[in-house]
C-alpha cells in the first residue's frame, strides 16, 4: 500500500498477495519488485508458473509494470525457480539490476530486471540473510544475517571484497537502509529494540532510538526523518534520524506491516 506522509491516508497498490515480505522500486522505469513467500501447498492460480515443493514454501520475486508508479495493472513473475524464502530485495536503479536474499537457500543473488543473467554473489558462511540495500555510486551491497551468529556484511556488487562490518550486540537485525547524503548505514534490531547507525565500514556506531521499539521490522529514510514498521504496534512510525526525537506514529491498525520505502514524486 501507499501511505501519504501528510494525512496518513493509504491506498492499496495491489491486492491478492499471499505473504509479501520485501519490496523495492525502480522509479525511472516505473517498476515495483516484491517477494511473495506463500505457505500454500499449491501456488495461487494467477501465478501458475511459481516454483513449488511439498517441503519448502512456494516463493517468487515478482514485478508489476506501472505508469509512473501510478497505474498498478500488469504483473509478472521474474524469478520462478530456485527460491525458498526470499526475504529481501533491492533494486540498482543505475545499472538496472536487482539483488535478493534467501534464508532458505542461504544465498545472495543478482539478476537483470527481467530475471535473466542470474548470478550468486554470496553463498558461504550465510545462515539467514534478510534485509539488503545497495549503494550504486560506491558499488556496495549490504545485507543482514540473523542466524546463530548475527551480522551485517558488505561486499562489492560482484560479491568480491566481502567483509563483516557489524557483529557485536546483534540479535535480529531486520531492517536496513542507507543515508546517501551522510554515507551511513541504519539498521533495526527487533530483539534489542533499537535502531542504530554506523559508517559503511562499521565504525562510529551509534544508537539512534533505544526506547519505544517493541518489534521494529523495516526502516527507510527521507531527509532528516527515519521511518519504520513495527509488528507489535502494527504501525508505521517516524523520528529524527540523528537524535531519535520527535517519535510519532503516522499510521496504525496495520496487519503485520512488512517492508517500507519512501517514494518522492518530482
pLDDT tens across the length of the chain (266 residues): 445 555 555 555 555 555 566 778 887 887 888 776 664 433 332 222 222 222 233 344 433 222 233 444 466 778 878 888 888 999 999 999 999 999 999 999 999 998 999 999 999 999 999 999 999 999 999 999 999 999 999 999 999 999 999 999 999 998 999 999 999 999 999 899 999 999 999 999 999 999 988 888 889 998 899 988 887 777 788 899 999 999 998 876 665 555 666 554 33
Looking at the structure, tell me whether residues 68 and 157 fall in a common domain.
yes
CATH no. for residue 203?
Answer: 2.120.10.30
Looking at the structure, tell me whether residues 189 and 256 fall in a common domain.
yes
Q: Tell me if 4 is assigned to some domain.
A: no
Q: Tell me if 192 is assigned to some domain.
A: yes
pTM for the predicted model, two decimal places: 0.80
Q: Which pLDDT does position 146 carry in this prediction?
A: 92
Looking at the structure, tell me whether residues 77 and 195 fall in a common domain.
no
Q: How would you classify residue 209: left for phi > 0, otherwise alpha for psi between -120 and 50, otherwise beta?
A: beta
Looking at the structure, tell me whether residues 31 and 159 fall in a common domain.
yes
Looking at the structure, tell me whether residues 49 and 126 fall in a common domain.
yes
Domain assignment of residue 237, given as a range = 174-266
Looking at the structure, tell me whether residues 62 and 152 fall in a common domain.
yes
Looking at the structure, tell me whether residues 111 and 160 fall in a common domain.
yes
Question: Residue 25 contacts by C-beta under 8 Å, 6 or more apart in sequence?
Answer: 31, 32, 33, 69, 91, 261, 263
Looking at the structure, tell me whether residues 41 and 129 fall in a common domain.
yes
**Structural domain count, the chain:** 2
Element (H, E) at 176: strand 173-179
Q: Tell me if 184 is assigned to some domain.
A: yes
Cα–Cα distance for residue pair 24/35, rounded to 1 Å? 9
Looking at the structure, tell me whether residues 194 and 158 fall in a common domain.
no
Element (H, E) at 17: none
Q: Write down how long the chain is.
A: 266
Looking at the structure, tell me whether residues 186 and 62 fall in a common domain.
no
Amino acid at each position: 500500500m501507499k501511505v501519504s506522509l501528510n494525512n496518513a491516508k493509504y491506498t492499496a497498490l495491489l491486492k491478492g498477495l499471499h505473504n509479501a515480505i520485501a519490496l523495492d522500486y525502480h522509479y525511472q522505469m516505473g517498476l515495483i519488485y516484491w517477494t511473495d513467500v506463500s505457505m500454500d501447498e499449491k501456488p495461487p492460480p494467477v501465478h501458475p508458473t511459481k516454483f513449488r515443493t511439498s517441503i519448502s514454501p512456494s516463493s517468487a520475486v515478482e514485478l508489476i509494470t506501472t505508469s509512473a508508479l501510478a497505474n498498478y495493472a500488469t504483473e509478472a513473475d521474474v524469478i520462478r525457480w530456485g527460491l525458498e524464502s526470499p526475504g529481501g530485495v533491492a533494486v540498482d536503479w543505475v545499472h538496472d539490476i536487482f539483488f535478493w536474499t534467501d534464508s532458505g537457500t542461504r544465498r545472495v543473488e543478482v539478476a537483470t530486471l527481467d530475471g535473466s543473467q542470474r548470478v550468486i554473489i554470496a553463498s558461504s558462511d550465510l545462515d539467514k540473510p534478510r534485509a539488503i540495500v545497495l549503494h550504486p555510486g560506491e558499488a556496495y551491497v549490504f545485507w543482514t544475517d540473523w542466524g546463530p551468529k548475527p551480522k551485517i556484511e558488505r561486499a562489492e556488487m560482484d560479491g568480491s571484497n566481502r567483509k563483516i562490518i557489524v557483529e557485536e550486540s546483534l540479535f535480529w537485525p531486520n531492517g536496513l537502509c542507507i543515508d546517501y547524503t551522510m554515507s551511513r548505514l541504519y539498521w533495526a534490531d527487533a530483539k534489542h529494540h533499537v535502531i542504530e547507525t554506523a559508517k559503511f565500514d562499521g565504525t562510529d556506531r551509534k544508537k539512534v532510538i533505544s526506547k519505544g521499539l517493541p518489534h521494529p521490522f523495516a526502516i527507510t529514510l527521507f531527509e532528516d526523518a527515519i521511518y519504520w514498521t513495527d509488528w507489535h504496534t502494527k504501525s508505521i512510525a517516524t523520528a529524527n534520524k540523528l537524535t531519535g526525537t520527535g517519535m510519532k506514529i503516522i499510521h496504525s491498525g496495520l496487519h503485520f506491516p512488512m517492508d517500507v520505502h519512501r517514494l518522492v514524486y518530482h
